Amino acid sequence: MNYFKQESERLKFRKLEIEDIPSWRAFFVGNDRLKFLGIDLSKKPDTLAAEWIERQLKRYEKEGLGHLAVELKETDEFIGVGGIIPRTLESKNEFEIAYSLLPKFWKNGYGTELAEQMKKYGFEKIKADRLVSIIDKENYDSINVAVKNGMKVLFETTYLGMDVEVYGIIKNS
Span 118-138, pLDDT tens digits? 999 999 999 999 999 999 999
pTM of the model: 0.93
DSSP-derived secondary structure for 6-36: EE-SSEEEE---GGGHHHHHGGGSS-TTGGG
The answer to whether residue 144 scores a pLDDT higher than 90 is yes
Which of 4, 7, 11 shows the shortest CA–CA distance to 71? 11
Sheet of 92-101: strand order equals: 5-7, 11-14, 66-72, 78-89, 92-101, 130-136, 162-170, 152-159
Evaluate whether 31 touches 101 at the Cβ level (below 8 Å).
no
Note the pLDDT tens digit of each residue in 61-106: 999 999 999 999 999 999 999 999 999 988 899 999 999 999 999 9
> Residue 173 — very low, low, confident or very high, per pLDDT cuts 50/70/90?
low
> What average pLDDT does this structure show over 137-163?
93
List the domain range (segments joined by +) for residue 108: 5-170
6 contacts 121 by C-beta, under 8 angstroms: yes
For position 152, what pLDDT does the model report? 97
Q: For the chain, how many structural domains are there in total? A: 1
For the domain that residue 12 is a member of, what is the CATH number? 3.40.630.30
Which residues, at least 6 apart from 97, have a Cβ–Cβ distance to it below 8 Å?
82, 83, 84, 115, 118, 119, 122, 131, 132, 133, 149
Q: Are 6 and 122 in contact (CB under 8 A)?
A: no
* Residue 170 and residue 130 in contact, taking contact as beta carbons nearer than 8 Å: yes
Q: Where are the beta strands (DSSP E) in 91-150?
A: 92-101, 130-136
| Whole-number Å distance between alpha carbons of 24 and 53 | 8
